[in-house]
Structure 1
Amino acid sequence: MVSFHGDVHICTESFGSPGNPAVLLIMGAASSMIWWETEFCEKLADKGFYVIRYDNRDTGKSTCYPPGEPGYTFEDLADDAIAVLDAYEIDKAIIMGMSMGGMLTQMIALRYPQRVSGIVLLSSMYFANGAESLPYSSDEVNAFFEQMAKSEPPKDTDGLVEVAIRQWRITNQSRRPHDEDHIRKMNRMDVERSDHFDSRMNHSYAQVTGDELGRIAEIAVPALVVHGTDDVVIPYVHGEMLAKTIPHAALLTMNGAGHELHPLDYDSVIEAIFKQFC
């Protein structure tokens, strides 16, 4: 557990040897660190990296705020990543972000270039010049979240798990095979280990106050963009634009993958990380 700013606490976990190059994993909106599944973290560590995952604020066992009242900006969430590196006494790390975590990673690369040795953007959104003309989430995804915002969340664990499963079915459509029993177990673990599971939706209310997301052409570290062609939350064209705009960026296209890091893609993603940064 990392503590800073007096009353902010971040729950972390590490894999591998501290003497190896560090990879800091930042998960997406409303998702705790367990969605960087242990198998992926261990495989990445076995490749020769020191891997750290953590719960963003309002997820898992990190500091949570009342539903609908996030006590932070996205800049604060980006700064949390650096606080985690400080706690582990790590000068520089590869920062890997999924979805919202990828947005934070873009910000970190510009806010703290001296602390970043490279970035990996997984299923991440493009916000720079021309973003207004790009497609965004599918109508089905939008309709689900609109309905979810209007509905009173369940109070019991079983009900919360069922809502999470429905969300997963909508947002993780792809041509990859899916083990729904495993996903159900993961969602139950997520609910049961969370101190305030309802607070996870606060990421939808947080604000961006700086200009970093529009300046990604200034990112000066090596970058790897990883994106699935069947992503219904953040369409593949966002990955193409990120790779086109960020200097020194490579694009790993996951044909048939959706808004996910699927176990079938672990090896190819890890090999691409090793090739890009080692």
Structure 2
Amino acid sequence: MSFTNTILTGKKGLVIGIANDQSIAAGCARQFHAAGAELAVTYLSDKARRFVEPVAEAVDAALLLPLDVEIDGQTEAVFAAVAQKWGKLDFLLHSIAYAPKEDLHGRVVDSSREGFSMAMDVSVHSFIRMARLAEPLMKEGGSLLTVSYYGAEKVVDNYNLMGPVKAALESVTRYMAAELGPQGIRVNAISPGPLQTRAASGIGHFDALIDEARARAPIRRLVTIEEVGAMATYLVSDLSRSVMGNIAYIDGGYHVMS
């Protein structure tokens, strides 16, 4: 399903976190494109590039750039390329998260210092670094958007270490909204319900989580990446110019159920 409109016509956006055509970032990129935005997209590695290229082609991406946030200099290189291409940036989608498998599948109290630090760096501090680099490109204001999950707010079985990490991401969203708001830069997060993406498949017993979400959500189904993209499109558009520091749920109402 496509929600075609023109609310992003003339906007330049950077989409970080496309893994393949079924990832949340891919769904968002397609909706941004349908709404008229010109996009730059990134891929994690040479191995991942072949999965990202079809999405980049489908959205007529102006730039396709490598980005592993753990490699010094790559994040800066991406923003330098954006600056050279456009001289500005209207919005950014940050849709990356990672925790080492042994830490993700264990108890929080058993997580290693190294694993916890890596999860926080990739999933949270990378958003901070990108915000700092995006700020000078958003002289006329803009929108920074990241992706969270309900496990940041409540304990979700098997979400483990990523719960505290996403809680930190949501807090960072609020603090950066306060800091960047005076420059007209909005910072928000979207919180989709469980989706059958490659990244989510790393969570233990994920099929059970999917089944529970489908059964408990008032709409009695899972949301789609296109529906997530529709909310993301609103949040990076001028229609949300007074929306700051929000966590927007796109989960079919799952989060309101006790």
- TM class by shorter chain equals 0.3 to 0.5
If the length of structure 2 is used for normalisation, what is the TM-score? Answer: 0.44
Structure whose residues are more often helix by fraction: 2
If the length of structure 1 is used for normalisation, what is the TM-score? Answer: 0.41
